Amino acid sequence: MDDEPLRKKLLNVVYHDEDPNERFVFENVKASDYYPKPLFLYDDDEKAIFETPMYGSSVQHKIVPPCEISKQDVKDICDIVFFYRDNKQDDESQAVFSFLMYVLESANIWKIRKVISEHGGIVENVPVVAALIGQGETGKTTLLKIVSCLTIGSKEHIVNAQDDMFKLKAGVKEKLANNQKLTEAEKKNPFSETPLVMNKNTWEFIQRYMLTKSSITPICIDDPNIGLIQSKSAENPLKYLSNTYKGAPHPVVLIAMNDRNHNFSIPHQIGRRAYAFGQENQFRQISKSEANQLTHFENDLSNQVFLYLTYWIDAWLDNVSDEDYENLSKDFLYPVKQAFKGLLSEHSLYDGMKRYFESDNYDIKNDNGRRNWLALLSDKNVLEKISFNKGDETAFIPKDCFPGRDGVSRYFDYLPAKLEICPTQVDAGLSIVIDNMDSWLGNSVLREKYRADTGLAHDEHEIKIAKIQAIEQGKAMAETQFKLQQEVKKQEEEKRMRKKLGYKLKNLFRHDD
């Protein structure tokens, strides 16, 4: 809505922040009733953090940053990552690690954007929304509960995006905004469950929360329509959110959404502002002890690490050197990773987490590309069409292996350029560096097929047989040689004994004379 005063008035009427007497189904409901409890706020000088039990409360107390963090609190975060590594049908722990780092840095996102803006950087590349995306039963809502505990110490204030509040029809809202009476039909059926209506209402709610003065507490929203950040209609509100808040403290939004059709893609302009994390694989059958661990994650986690890191990063951002800014401009998660690495090292936990720090931040485009390539190369018909030349370390995949009219281009774009898997594309297909592709996919499908198709597997088998035969022959020769040596030794011993016996007899007869 272009008319900003009218937009604010509309939000106030709909959520009854100004008109609590409106006789309607929402007469006792306010948008603020859905806000996290407690809220963490910056003071006016942006130097200290205060906690208030709920939005609008006059009760506030200053938070004293924790001096020490227990090993258990740090280990809990590591164990969350390991749980999604060990108990998923495919390892999705890198996505979980990057998501947790974003959450633990979420209270500082506004200040990171401020520092980047002051240095003339691109603020829009620091996302204000993080979204967990995947099929049902893949642990997205579980993660949302976990990070709610990690930030506010409770999972009880996650917003359900299927709430009636998000279903209010536009026509009803417009009449309310203009103080017009509703028809009986509108009173009986004021709601719509179409994605267009619900997504628009959800964005208005998100925008209203981000206008909350000085709040830095992330808000968690579960199960909105996938189009909330996928559709073109998401671009304008996201641009508004990411372009508007550049100096003052503001919160971020954490979302878990269900990609029922398993065909999620995100436009570039949205992807810059909303950090998407894929969770596509379901859990394996978990044991009783693993189920107990999951219950612990959802109910017992402390927010001390979150508060400690918030203060640590805040102080770091107050004294950013040129080198610090260079690192920050390359990776907006750099501050939290440095701080958390320090906690891990302090408690001798870094070695187990080292691979996550040495890997790039999670990228859903790269992840989706990898999944699509894995699916393509699991097709026997595709594998039969791939050709190799003996001595050449590449595999040629012809055009007709790729689905769709632009299949070659699309699958070429999936490949991370820095891994040098495919130097260039041609109309006829793609020439793939075998070992680089296998390394990216985490298997040896192309290498094994190369060995089979070029006869190397047969040659290697023949060489192996020859080696075994040579070893067996060597053993036989060694055994024969040993037997000969033993026989010679035996004969020499018998000869020596006969000689010795003859000597004794000779002496005996000499004595008798």
pLDDT digit string (tens) for 303-313?
999 999 999 99
Question: How many Å apart are CA 252 and CA 112, to the nearest integer?
Answer: 12
Angle between helix 235-244 and helix 195-210 axes, rounded to 10 deg: 0
Tell me how far apart the terminal alpha carbons of the chain are, to the nearest angstrom: 141
Burial (0-12, 13-18, 19+ Cβ within 10 Å), 385: middle
The answer to whether 2 touches 11, Cβ cutoff 8 Å, is no
State the Cα–Cα distance between residues 279 and 341, nearest whole angstrom.
25
Cα dihedral across residues 241, 242, 244, 249: positive or negative: positive
Q: What is the rounded distance in angstroms from the CA atom of residue 55 to the CA atom of residue 39?
A: 7
Predicted confidence at residue 18, as pLDDT, reads: 42
Three-class SS state of 262: coil
Total residues belonging to the chain: 513
The answer to whether residues 236 and 112 touch, using CB atoms and an 8 Å cutoff, is no
Dihedral over Cα of 298, 303, 304, 308: its sign: positive
Residue type for 180, please?
Q
pLDDT of 472 reads: 67
Q: Which of 437, 446, 456, 463 is nearest to 391 (CA)?
A: 456
Burial (CB count <10 Å: 0-12, 13-18, 19+), residue 509: exposed
| Domain ranges (residues) in the chain | 48-360, 366-454, 469-507
Please answer whether residues 112 and 332 qualify as being in contact, where contact means their C-beta atoms are separated by less than 8 angstroms.
yes
**Main-chain phi, psi angles of 393, to 5 degrees:** -90, 30
Note whether 32 and 22 are within 8 A (CB). no
Write out the two tokens for 396.
Answer: 């040629």
Please calculate the CA angle 230-235-236 and round it to the nearest 5 degrees.
145
Residue 266: per-residue pLDDT:
78
**8 Å CB contact between 417 and 436:** no
For tokens 């953090």, name the residue: 49
Helix then strand count (H, E) for the chain reads: 22, 12
Q: What b/e sequence results for 421-432 when a residue is b if at least 16 CB atoms lie within 10 Å of its CB, and e otherwise?
A: bbeeeeeebbbb
Which residues sit opposite 388 in a β-bridge? Answer: 395
Listed as ranges, residues in the chain with pLDDT below 50 are 1-28, 457-458, 460-462, 513
- Whole-Å CA distances, 132 to 218, 257, 276, 371, 507: 14, 6, 6, 17, 104
Count CB atoms within 10 A of the CB of residue 120.
7
